[in-house]
A and B are shown apart, each in its own frame.
Chain A
């Protein structure tokens, strides 16, 4: 069966510090991968998606970036965090050969102080 991991689970970072969040998927090949952000009490905002290694599409201009160095690894980064980057970051994968649903990881709670 497929599983999706995210780490760290929680993170507290000062303004201006760098960020690296990691997401990995097991049990599937060539998934579509997604990064979402959920602000407090809000819905989900799609940040990035990837259909393959090295292929990244950005949905929202911001100071975040994403990379996909391996088939089942998706990384969200920032060189300098802003207060507004605080939120709950969710990674998801889509099985392109399956019933066409997205499955979510457990999320990373990021607080920027």
Chain B
């Protein structure tokens, strides 16, 4: 089956950039996604990238895709306390999404 792996924890100082990394195994994945989950809430779609793109930027978020290495990253510029959450990487294969275990981002003052 599809494997998606992420580091579990990231601590970042407020105002710095955060970089969350993800690797996936299915080279036929057409879309890759980043979701954000705040405590006790559902998952919020942050951004997605089509597999034929290398980069996508949306305000403070930058997604980089290295399809050769099957590596996806999410960079959050000027990290704020409201960015503290769990971030999930997901890859799409047909009708299903495969999720990583999530990276818990803690923003410290």
Taking residues whose C-beta sits less than 8 angstroms from the other chain, chain A's interface range is 20 to 34
Given the known interface contacts A44-B88, A49-B95, A94-B95, the answer about A104 and B48 at a Cβ–Cβ threshold of 8 Å is no
Chain B interface extent, by class: 20 to 34
* B31 and A90 within 8 A (CB): no
Task: Check B43 for interface membership: any CB of A closer than 8 A.
Answer: yes
- Confirm or deny: A97 has a beta carbon within 8 angstroms of a beta carbon on chain B: no
- Tell me if B99 and A105 are in contact (CB < 8 A): no
Q: Are B48 and A44 touching (Cβ within 8 A)?
A: no
Interface bits B15-56 vs A (CB < 8 Å: 1, else 0) = 000000000000000110101000011111100100000000
Residue from B42, B44, B48 within 8 A of A99 (CB atoms): B48
Q: Is A111 an interface residue (CB 8 A)?
A: no
- On whether the beta carbons of A106 and B42 are closer than 8 Å, the reply is yes
Given contacts A49-B95, A94-B95, A106-B42, contact A101 B31 (CB under 8 A): yes
| Nearest-CB residue, chain B, relative to A102 | B97
Known contacts A43-B88, A49-B96, A101-B45, A109 near B40 by CB under 8 Å: yes
Chain A CB within 10 Å, residue with most, of B88, B97, B100: B97
A104–B99 CB distance below 8 A: no
**Does B85 count as interface, using CB distance less than 8 angstroms?**
no
Q: A19-47, CB under 8 A of B: which get 1 and which 0?
A: 00000000000001000000000111010
